[in-house]
Structure 1
Amino acid sequence: MSYSIFRVQGIKTTSDLRGIGKHNADRISDTNLDIDKEKSSENIELVKCDSYLKRFSEITLDMRREHEERMKTTRSDRRKSFEQAINGAKNDVACEFLFTSDEEFFKGKSKAEIQSWAQDSLEFVTDEIGLSHDRIIHASVHMDEKTPHLHIVAVPLTEIYDGRRKENVLTISRHQFIKTKDDLSSLQDKYNERMNERGYVLERGTPKEVRHQKVHA
């Protein structure tokens, strides 16, 4: 039986985000030799994106405004640009989800059937993880590699209470959506259950299967 594979990793800086955009959207990679450019036209875009950094700027516009407002009352020697602040923080600037299975699962499936599987996976991110569509930069299925797989890049932007400032502030925090490894494991269980409820016959991927599927090269 095939496995349901779902994993997530953080994207540390806007420079990293731009690089992932080149891989996911432009299909440029110096290390991934599996990309068949002749099949790239078959890739499926569920959420289109022309520029990862432009979309990131749109999603974080209110956070940028909050930051710039705070800087007005910050000592000049401690002021940072918005880019300096987010790239220098411990938090990720975005995160990337990967959904896939094995060759046997996709064997014989039409492009429409693969798109339906991908849409079910995207809805899992919005429904179960809580990242709304307006936080998603790009969602695409790569059909030009050995096994189809769905990449979803999103900004885990949320509002939290800042005890020091005594107010709610916008922050980018994957931890607010997936707090621990146990929470991730629970979500992987839920993903498997959801996909089987939708009619797919899949075993829950173990850490071994998940580890053998890289998010990107």
Structure 2
Amino acid sequence: MSTVVFRVAKIKTKSAAQGKTKHNYRLMDTPNADAERTATLNKEYINSGQVDYWSLAEARIEEGIAKTARGKPRTVRDDQVRAVEIVLTASPEWFKRGPDGQAEDMRASKWVADNLEFLKKTFGEKNVVSFTLHQDEKTPHIHAVIIPLTEKGHLSADKIFNPETLKD
């Protein structure tokens, strides 16, 4: 029986954002990734310039954060979650495999398109700032970076990513 994977990880610091950027764009050594497959099978659907996640978060927050009653932008606390990384995949047996054991190419698949559409619909199109398909490891998977801005322009990972909303 196949299992769906939906992993959520908060990004609170610039160093955490930079580490995830380097890993996801293969700017650092990734021992379980096949370098030959990285260039040909991995694909970035949203952040094709591979801008670092911290810069993407800061820009989106500045653009989308609500103003206070006095017309000034709300302040963002140093300890606030700036972004959330979501990893989407399934158990290895769910993916069709070729004779060499490699999963078939998912770049133009309904699975990728449906996941991207789901994230945009659920979290807001502007809040999905990166969406990367990795196929250079055994099992294809997606890394997406979401900025947790509410519809009212509040930065709040707690309102968007909590047990109730994740269950839904």
TM-score range, shorter chain: 0.7 to 0.9
Displacement of 1:23: 0.8
Count of paired positions: 157
Distance in 2 of aligned mates of 1:62 and 1:48: 17
Displacement of 1:144: 0.8
Distance in 2 of aligned mates of 1:65 and 1:159: 9
Displacement of 1:61: 2.2
Displacement of 1:56: 2.3
Aligned-residue Cα RMSD (Å) equals 2.7
Asked whether the 8 Å contact 1:158–1:173 carries over to 2, the reply is: yes
Match in the other structure for 1:105 = 94
Letter in 2 for 1:103: P
- The 3 A distance-change label for structure 1 pair 102 and 110 is same
Distance in 2 of aligned mates of 1:114 and 1:94: 27
**Equivalent residue of 1:28, what SS?**
coil
Structure 2 stretches of 5 or more lacking a match? 98-102
Deviations 1:133-177 (A, max 9, x none): 2112210111111211111111111255xxxxxxxxx43212222
- The 3 A distance-change label for structure 1 pair 44 and 115 is farther
**Equivalent residue of 1:61, what SS?**
helix
Deviations 1:54-100 (A, max 9, x none): 32233122367959x859xxxxxxxxxx7xx54x23x3110011111
Report the structure, 1 or 2, having the larger helix content.
1
Q: TM-score, normalised by structure 1?
A: 0.62
Larger radius of gyration: 1
Structure 1 stretches of 5 or more lacking a match? 72-81, 161-169, 188-217
Distance in 1 of aligned mates of 2:26 and 2:58: 19
Match in the other structure for 1:58 = 59
